Amino acid sequence: MRIGVLALQGGFAEHVSHLRKAAAALGVSDAEVVEVRTSEELHCCDSLVIPGGESTCMAHICTTNDLLRHLREFCDEKPVWGTCAGMIFLAKSIQGGKKGGQLLIGNMDITVNRNFFGNQVHSFETSMQTPSTHFAEVDAKVGGGESFRAVFIRAPAIIMDGEPADGVEYLSVLRLDQAAQMGEGRTVSEVAVAAKQGNILVTAFHPELTSDIRWHALFVQIARDHCVAGKGKGEAKQKA
């Protein structure tokens, strides 16, 4: 099983090292973690992590390298986890970007405010509850308690406008000390900072910058389950 980390820009090295540790902790011995820069490398992977960094810059490199359409195809079929800029890049719609917008992979049905928490000087850390149902296997094998340290750097947030779109599940919701003023006179008092839709996972925070490997373990588990299910389908096809 090969887990790719998009390595065009941003904090990919930390993800590579955390994914290796997480795979070892879960006992997934056949997991290979590789850096991805081209469509050929991408198509050799069974799952992909898109790191934090600068989403406009990442989009620009992907367009120049003709990677965007390959990423869209990949996200239709395989597990993908986007952190921070990666989350922005995966969203279907964006608030707070330049007029005319930026190019997006766009496969996840969420609206993300790009710099919701402000710029670099407004970066912060906070303690949050782990999504316990999703962490059941991770907790059993890796341990670590009911909370995790969430690091937000020029962080985006998912705007929770009414009910989530079909299949979207909010895994972590952050209540704001002060209601934030949005455009058009709207205010919000909470935002989602981790979510899942089908095989796509997104987090606005950076687990790769803490010593906690549990979010990476969750993704390795999702990637492994997807591979096992795929193998099962393949074998059933062969028998038929």
User: Is the Cβ of residue 53 or residue 79 nearer to ligand GLN in the bound state?
Assistant: 53
Does 208 participate in catalysis according to the annotation?
yes
CB of 83 to ligand GLN, least distance (A): 7
Between vectors from CA 104 to CA 88 and to CA 111, what angle results, nearest 5°?
A: 50
Residue whose C-alpha is closest to residue 171's, from 95, 89, 81, 104 = 81
Please pick, from the candidates 36, 47, 52, 194, the single residue that binds ligand GLN as defined by CB under 6 A: 52
Which among 45, 62, 75, 84 is annotated as catalytic? 84
Residue 55 interacts with ligand GLN (CB under 6 A): yes or no: yes
Please pick, from the candidates 54, 109, 169, 190, the single residue that binds ligand GLN as defined by CB under 6 A: 54
User: Is the Cβ of residue 79 or residue 86 nearer to ligand GLN in the bound state?
Assistant: 86
Query: Binding to ligand GLN (CB under 6 A): which residues in 160-189?
Result: none
Which among 15, 208, 216, 227 is annotated as catalytic? 208
Residue 207 interacts with ligand GLN (CB under 6 A): yes or no: no
Residue 111 interacts with ligand GLN (CB under 6 A): yes or no: no
User: DSSP letter string over the chain?
Assistant: -EEEEE-SSSSHHHHHHHHHHHHHHHT-TT-EEEEE-SHHHHHT-SEEEE-SS-HHHHHHHHHHTT-HHHHHHHHHHS-EEEETHHHHHHEEEEESS-TT-------EEEEEETTTT-SGGG-EEEEEE--TTTTHHHHHHH---SEEEEEESS--EE---SSPPTTEEEEEEEEEEEEEE-GGG-EEEEEEEEEEETTEEEESS-GGGSS--HHHHHHHHHHHHHHHHHHHHHHHHHH-
Fill in the per-residue mask, 140 to 159: x = in contact with ligand GLN (CB under 6 A), - = not in contact. Answer: -------------xx-x---
User: Is the Cβ of residue 52 or residue 79 nearer to ligand GLN in the bound state?
Assistant: 52
Does 15 participate in catalysis according to the annotation?
no
User: Is the Cβ of residue 135 or residue 152 nearer to ligand GLN in the bound state?
Assistant: 152
Annotated binding site for L-glutamine: 53-55, 114, 153-154
User: What residues make contact with ligand GLN under the rule CB under 6 A?
Assistant: 52-55, 84-85, 88, 114-115, 153-154, 156
Q: Which residues are catalytic?
A: 84, 206, 208
